[in-house]
Structure 1
Amino acid sequence: MGHSSGSHTKFHHRYHIVWSPKYRYKVLHGEVRLRVREIIRQVCGEMGVTIVNGALSRDHVHLFVEIPPHVSVSDFVRRAKGRSSRKIQQEFEHIRKRYWGQRFWQRGYFSTTSGNITDDVIENYLNQHTNMNGFSPSA
């Protein structure tokens, strides 16, 4: 399991994020699909988010991303959905007509963290450091 580094941090924050177009319309194909993918990649590059894996289905977006600690998941999703919605409706007339004056994406999204660390692993890690450094929570 690789960790990423910031100037003062090491992190491994991975999230599985899913969202879909309004009314679950199957509009993510052809040029629209390619453009949505390009816009999401731009947002990731600007925010320092790494795309581990991803898939664009006809009616939803799946992303498995690593987000640095200074970026919240909600800020990343807000920017990705907002920019792609605006640009898609500006650039594709058939989308603009279908969603006339409305947002392209449904409200909300699904997000879950990735990892296989349990409470026991964390407690063992802390216990090892407690024994080495002489720090005890009860002291």
Structure 2
Amino acid sequence: MDEVRSNNNVVYRRNFHEVWCRNTGGRSPPARSMADSKKIIREVRAERDLPIEAIETMPDHVHLLVVCDPQFGIHRLVKQIKGRSSRLLRAEFPHLKSRLPTLWTNSYFVATTGGATLEIVKHYVENQRNVSSTPLPPHG
């Protein structure tokens, strides 16, 4: 997952930890619907050729560790996954549709993972005139 990836315009290494919550409407969702959520997330990921390092569904939220092309955008990935899974799961479990306007809340958490600290990268950028080919220090 820590590999450098590329598309026609960008070379990148961007790993994200995402978390989003379900609208539960005071009811617990069926356990099977959460298992189906994993399947749907994997399908969207495969269509976009986005590696998933880890995925876990809880009764009221989802954790996802994924690589995302910066030109596609993490917001578009989250929107696609949440939209498709909401549509398909609410069709399969009609009680979710009758009780909730959407399966997922509008908000989500996302953070990049790993890499050098902001201080190290800032120092690297500020010193580029002094050192023409210094690689970024390893992260860890």
**Percent of pairs with identical residues:** 28
**Alignment correspondent of 2:121:** 122
User: Counterpart amino acid of 2:51?
Assistant: T
Greater mean alpha carbon deviation, residues 63-72 or residues 114-123? 114-123
Q: Distance in 1 between matches of 2:71 and 2:30?
A: 30
**Alignment correspondent of 1:57:** 58
Shift of 1:95: 2.2
**Alignment correspondent of 1:137:** none
Shift of 1:4: 2.1
Shift of 1:13: 0.6
Q: Distance in 2 between matches of 1:92 and 1:16?
A: 28
Shift of 1:49: 1.9
Equivalent residues, number: 130
Q: Distance in 2 between matches of 1:64 and 1:84?
A: 17
| 3-state SS in 2 of match to 1:131 | coil
TM-score by length of 2: 0.79
| 3-state SS in 2 of match to 1:22 | coil
| Higher CA-based Rg | 1
TM-score by length of 1: 0.79
Q: Does structure 2 conserve the Cα–Cα contact (< 8 Å) formed by 1:15 and 1:65?
A: yes
Q: Distance in 2 between matches of 1:48 and 1:28?
A: 29
User: Counterpart amino acid of 1:73?
Assistant: I
Q: Does structure 2 conserve the Cα–Cα contact (< 8 Å) formed by 1:17 and 1:112?
A: yes
Q: Does structure 2 conserve the Cα–Cα contact (< 8 Å) formed by 1:28 and 1:60?
A: no
Equivalences for residues 1-139 of structure 1 within 5 A: 1-23=2-24, 25-27=27-29, 29-30=31-32, 32-99=33-100, 102-126=101-125, 127=127, 130-132=130-132
CA RMSD of aligned residues (A): 2.2
Structure whose residues are more often helix by fraction: 1
Which ranges in structure 1 are unaligned for 5 or more consecutive residues?
134-139
